[in-house]
Amino acid sequence: MKGDKKGAYCILSSGGWWNQRLLKDCGVIPYLLQKNYNFHSVLVGYNAKPSTLSYLDKYLDGVEIDFLPDDKLETRLQYIHDHAKDIDLLILYGAYPRYVPIVKYYRELRPNGKVYLATDANTHWMDRIDHDAIEWRQFLNQCDVIAASCRKTQRYLSIKWSAVIELIRNGWYNFADVNFDNVFNQKENIILTVGRIGSVQKRTELLLETFAACYEKIPDWRVRLVGKIEKNFDTFLENFFDRFPQLKNKIEFTGLIEDKKTLMEEYKKTKIFTITSDFEGGTPNVIAEALHAGCYIITSDVDGALDATDEGKCGSIFPVYDPTAFADILKRVCNDKKLIKSGGLRAFEYARESFDAENIVDHLYYLLYNIKMN
The region that residue 17 occupies, defined by phi over 0 for left and psi between -120 and 50 for alpha, beta otherwise, is beta
Mind listing the pLDDT tens digit for each residue in 1-30? 455 789 999 999 888 898 888 999 999 999
Looking at residue 93, its pLDDT comes to: 94
The region that residue 167 occupies, defined by phi over 0 for left and psi between -120 and 50 for alpha, beta otherwise, is beta
Mind listing the pLDDT tens digit for each residue in 230-284? 988 999 999 999 999 999 999 999 999 989 999 999 999 999 999 999 888 778 8
Distance CA 76, CA 23 (A): 23
Q: Are 187 and 344 in contact (CB under 8 A)?
A: yes
Q: Which residues pair with 93 in a beta bridge?
A: 118
pTM (2 decimals)?
0.94
Looking at residue 100, its pLDDT comes to: 94
**Count of CB atoms situated within 10 Å of the CB of 141:** 10
All structural domains of the chain, each given as residue ranges with its CATH number in brackets, are 7-173+356-369 (3.40.50.2000), 183-354 (3.40.50.2000)
**Count of CB atoms situated within 10 Å of the CB of 184:** 15
Range 25-36 average pLDDT: 97
142 against 132, higher pLDDT:
142
Torsion of CA 314, 59, 52, 18, to 10 degrees: -40
Nearest to 189 by CA among 326, 320, 341, 57: 341
Mind listing the pLDDT tens digit for each residue in 40-82? 999 999 876 666 788 999 999 999 999 999 999 999 999 999 9
Looking at residue 374, its pLDDT comes to: 53
Q: Are 275 and 197 in contact (CB under 8 A)?
A: no
Distance CA 371, CA 44 (A): 27
Mind listing the pLDDT tens digit for each residue in 277-323? 988 877 889 999 999 999 999 999 999 999 999 999 999 999 998 99
Looking at residue 172, its pLDDT comes to: 97
Looking at residue 175, its pLDDT comes to: 95
Looking at residue 102, its pLDDT comes to: 97
Q: Which residues pair with 310 in a beta bridge?
A: none
3-state SS, 121-155, equals CCHHHHCCCCCCCHHHHHHHHCCCEEEECCHHHHH
The percentage of residues in the chain with a pLDDT greater than 70, rounded to a whole number, is 96
Nearest to 255 by CA among 230, 280, 291: 230
- Give the distance between the most distant pair of CA atoms in the chain: 65
Average of per-residue pLDDT values in the chain = 93
Three-state DSSP at 203 gives coil
What is the 8-class DSSP label of residue 201?
T
| Order of strands, sheet of 40-46, starting from the edge strand that comes earlier in the sequence | 64-68, 40-46, 7-11, 89-93, 114-118, 145-148, 166-167
Distance CA 151, CA 168 (A): 9
Mind listing the pLDDT tens digit for each residue in 105-116? 999 999 999 999
Distance CA 72, CA 95 (A): 18
Most confident of 193-202, 349-358, 364-373: 349-358
